[in-house]
Amino acid sequence: MSNPASLAVSGLALGGARKALNRQVLIRLLVVTVLMFGFGFALIPFYEKICQVTGLRSILQADHVGPINTQVDVTRSVGIEFDTNSRAIGWGFRALAGGLSVHPGEVQQAVFEVRNDSARAVTGQAIPSYGPALAAQYFKKIECFCFTQQTLQPGEVRQMPVVFVVDPELPKSIATITLSFTFFEVEGARVLPSTQPANRS
């Protein structure tokens, strides 16, 4: 076995078996590649599940609110300001009240109005945001037009409520909360396919 010629023979005799073995490892690694490609996509629902369980990203669903009638903190008031934006959707969007003063723990309602100024039916989705950001976890929305998509016919006007309660745990340092909504057009959900596509510049 120790002389080079016989080694060469044994080495070459391995050739076919080695080829099969190489192919076997290749296939396994390709399977791993495909699985990891799928894993990238699986991260999306996984991430959403984590956010749901930990309550990290609950802006589009109703907040869980405990018993609310006993916890009103009348010793202080918090100013609520409204900010409305619409982005490349062609809607007029405003809050009917300029602002509110609420006691923490008290159920309140604010009404917003949208008007479709464009010549086609448009589906929009409102995304809420808070200032200061810390206030977000204390501002509990029980009912909100942002929980669903809104479809407006040309010229249609709609008034929509937000029912909310400010958590009494809100830090004392926060005296004013700005609630901001931005309406985006939901792409691919255009209700009248015959109309011109929107100019997206």
Partner 1 sequence: MAHSTADAAVAGHAHDHHDHAHDDHAHAAPSGFMRWLTTTNHKDIGTMYLWFSLTMFFVGGVLALGIRAELFKPGLQLWHPEFFNQLTTMHGLIMVFGAIMPAFVGFANWLVPLQIGAPDMAFARMNNWSFWLLPPAATLLVVSFFVPGGATAAGWTLYAPLTTQMGPGMDLAIFALHILGASSIMGSINIVVTILNMRAPGMTLMKMPMFVWTWLITAYLLIAVMPVLAGAITMTLTDRHFGTAFFNAAGGGDPVMFQHVFWFFGHPEVYIMILPAFGIVSHVIPAFARKPLFGYSSMVYATSSIAILSFIVWAHHMFVVGMPAAGVLFFMYATVLIAVPTGVKVFNWLATMWRGSMTFETPMLFAVGFLFVFTMGGFTGLICAIAPIDLQIQDTYYVVAHFHYVLVAGSLFAMFSGAYFWLPKWTGHMYDETLGKWHFWLSIIFFNVTFFPMHFLGLAGMPRRIPDYNIQFADFNMLATIGAFGFGLSQLVFLYTVLKCIRGGEKATAQVWEGAEGLEWTLSSPPPYHSFEVPPQVK
> How far apart, in whole angstroms, are the C-alpha atoms of residue 158 and residue 196?
24
- Give residues in contact with partner 1 (CB under 8 A): 4, 7-8, 11-22, 25-26, 29-30, 32-34, 36-41, 43-44, 47, 54, 56-57, 60, 87, 125, 127, 133, 184-188
**CB of 60 or CB of 68, closer to partner 1:** 60
Q: Tokens 């989705």 sit at which residue?
A: 125
3-class state of residue 32 by DSSP: helix
**CB of 68 or CB of 186, closer to partner 1:** 186
Cis-peptide into 132, omega within 30 deg: yes
**CB of 40 or CB of 171, closer to partner 1:** 40
Rounded to a whole number of angstroms, the minimum distance from the CB of residue 84 to partner 1 is 16
- Amino acid 27 reads I
Backbone Cα Rg of the chain: 29
Rounded to a whole number of angstroms, the minimum distance from the CB of residue 94 to partner 1 is 20
Rounded to a whole number of angstroms, the minimum distance from the CB of residue 64 to partner 1 is 18
Q: Which of 138, 142, 133, 141 is nearest to 172 (CA)?
A: 138
**CB of 27 or CB of 97, closer to partner 1:** 27
Q: Tokens 């009348």 sit at which residue?
A: 74
